[in-house]
């Protein structure tokens, strides 16, 4: 048991866990069901290019989200790039700097400038007022990010977009199966982008999708995902190779059957963390709105300025115990290349982004965690902070 400073691995004691606890440990559905799909794939000799499992996956995801079209892709980043292309974005597009760097890269990669707007300290998502300040004559769109599965301020961003004639889309990489106003995320903006990466609570090994209710946009993205081919030897768009493969769809289908169980495990972990960390001075677990459905895939702990121990020391202490906590998304995209060189003074307009990036710790959750392990994680934090 960890009771005093000398019991902590950072002070020389043995680590609390022999094997590392990971943020982003994949959740896996039924192994036998997956193996049956593998057998079918061998029998059919159909591995890619709009195969039957990909088609079934697209239908099931669209049904789950209550959205008209799901265009499955090889990963979330390519899905972002294709959505950005299909919407005809160019010039400048406003995004948060407090997101995974792929949101910004998907623009920069195609010669569009990501312009970083600050976030709301309470929700960690774009501040509509900050977005307004960043609009220039070159602005063509806004990409909101539903960080941690909590919806960006959809209606306020819609109002800004309408006022300035801008396209609005969302990076919903964290928000599969979450709701906004009781409606599934996937139904907002012109389109929304999902990630099914291994570290997401619902994975297809690697994978992603653009979901939309817009028929024409879906058609364009389907063509762009497959080199722009609209017929056997006929190309009607510049395209890329963004296709999802059959084996990925097989994993996605099996994991889709397990989504409710994984969410239940994540919810129990979230409650266990909240209880176990309650009352420790200077740390708090970011809360999810109980009126909305959430996937609880990220346990976010903020280390507030009154905490007697700096955020990075808490991380070091956890990692010494083999609890591989992360500082997502430190230090903010604006401080990563190429943006650091392009916009050396961007930080001046992003005080909330920087404060949040300096305070967040992401803790392990998912199928491989349980309330007992969470109790130990919390005891490490309690001992470290209260003994300081």
Nearer to ligand T4K, 76 or 332 (CB): 76
The stretch among 20-28, 242-250, 288-296, 310-318 that binds ligand T4K (CB under 6 A) is 20-28
HEC secondary structure over 146-168: CHHHCCCCHHHHHHHHHHHCCEE
Q: Considering beta carbons, is residue 26 or 282 the nearer one to ligand T4K?
A: 26
Instruction: Out of 2, 29, 53, 77, point to the residue binding ligand T4K (CB under 6 A).
Output: 77
Query: Cα–Cα distance between 113 and 84 in angstroms, integer?
Result: 12
Minimum distance of ligand T4K from residue 304's CB (angstroms): 23
Residue 270 touches ligand T4K, criterion: CB under 6 A: no
Q: Is 139 in the site for ligand T4K (CB under 6 A)?
A: no
Q: Distances from the Cα of 378 to the Cαs of 12, 18, 124, 195, 314, in angstroms?
A: 19, 17, 23, 30, 11
Residue nearer to ligand T4K on the CB measure, 25 or 68: 25
What is the distance between the alpha carbons of residues 383 and 5, in angstroms, rounded to a whole number? 6
Please identify which residue in 93, 112, 126, 173 interacts with ligand T4K, judged by CB under 6 A: 173
Work out how close the CB of 262 gets to ligand T4K at its nearest, in angstroms, rounded to a whole number: 15
307 alpha carbon, distance to own chain's centre:
27
Using an 8 Å Cβ cutoff, are 304 and 283 in contact? Answer: yes
Q: How far is the CB of 382 from ligand T4K (least distance, A)?
A: 23
CA distance 180 to 305: 31
Largest CA distance in the chain: 71
CA distance 221 to 51: 17
- Cβ nearer to ligand T4K, comparing 270 with 329: 329
Residue with tokens 């990669």: 109
> Applying CB under 6 A, does 243 fall inside the site for ligand T4K?
no
In the shown chain, the binding pattern of residues 81 to 100 toward ligand T4K, with x for contact by CB under 6 A and - for none, equals: ------------------xx
Binding interface with ligand T4K (CB under 6 A):
22-26, 75-77, 99-100, 102-103, 145, 171, 173-174, 195, 197-199, 208, 324, 328
């Amino acid at each position: 048991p960890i009771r005093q400073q000398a019991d902590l691995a950072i002070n020389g004691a043995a680590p609390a866990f022999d094997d590392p606890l990971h943020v982003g440990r994949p959740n896996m559905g039924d192994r036998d069901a997956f193996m049956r799909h593998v057998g079918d794939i061998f029998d059919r000799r159909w591995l890619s290019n709009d195969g039957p499992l990909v088609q079934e996956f697209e239908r099931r995801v669209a049904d789950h989200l209550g959205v008209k079209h799901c265009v499955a892709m090889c990963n979330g980043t390519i899905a972002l790039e294709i959505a950005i292309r299909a919407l005809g974005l160019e010039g400048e597009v406003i995004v948060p700097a407090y997101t995974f760097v792929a949101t910004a890269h998907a623009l920069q990669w195609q010669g569009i400038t990501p312009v970083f707007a600050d976030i709301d300290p309470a929700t960690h998502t774009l501040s509509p007022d900050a977005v307004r300040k960043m609009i220039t004559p070159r602005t063509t769109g806004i990409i909101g990010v539903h960080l941690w599965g909590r919806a960006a301020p959809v209606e306020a961003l819609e109002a800004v977009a309408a006022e300035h004639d801008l396209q609005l889309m969302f990076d919903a990489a964290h928000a599969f199966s979450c709701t906004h106003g009781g409606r599934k995320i996937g139904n907002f903006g012109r389109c929304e982008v999902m990630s099914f990466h291994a570290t997401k609570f619902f994975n297809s090994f690697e994978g992603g999708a653009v979901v939309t209710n817009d028929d024409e946009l879906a058609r364009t993205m389907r063509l762009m995902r497959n080199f722009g081919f609209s017929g056997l030897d006929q190309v009607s768009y510049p395209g890329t190779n963004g296709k999802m493969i059959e084996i990925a769809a097989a994993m996605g289908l099996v994991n889709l059957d397990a989504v409710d169980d994984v969410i239940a495990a994540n919810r129990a972990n979230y409650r266990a963390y909240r209880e176990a960390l309650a009352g420790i001075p200077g740390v708090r677990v970011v809360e999810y709105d109980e009126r909305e459905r959430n996937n609880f895939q990220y346990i976010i702990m903020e280390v507030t300025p009154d905490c007697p121990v700096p955020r990075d020391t808490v991380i070091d202490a956890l990692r010494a115990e083999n609890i591989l906590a992360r500082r997502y998304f430190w230090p903010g995209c604006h401080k990563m290349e190429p943006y650091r060189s392009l916009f050396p003074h961007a930080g001046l307009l992003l005080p909330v982004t920087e404060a949040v990036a300096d305070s967040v710790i992401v803790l392990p959750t998912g199928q491989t965690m349980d309330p007992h392990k969470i109790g130990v994680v919390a005891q490490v934090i309690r001992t470290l902070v209260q003994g300081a």
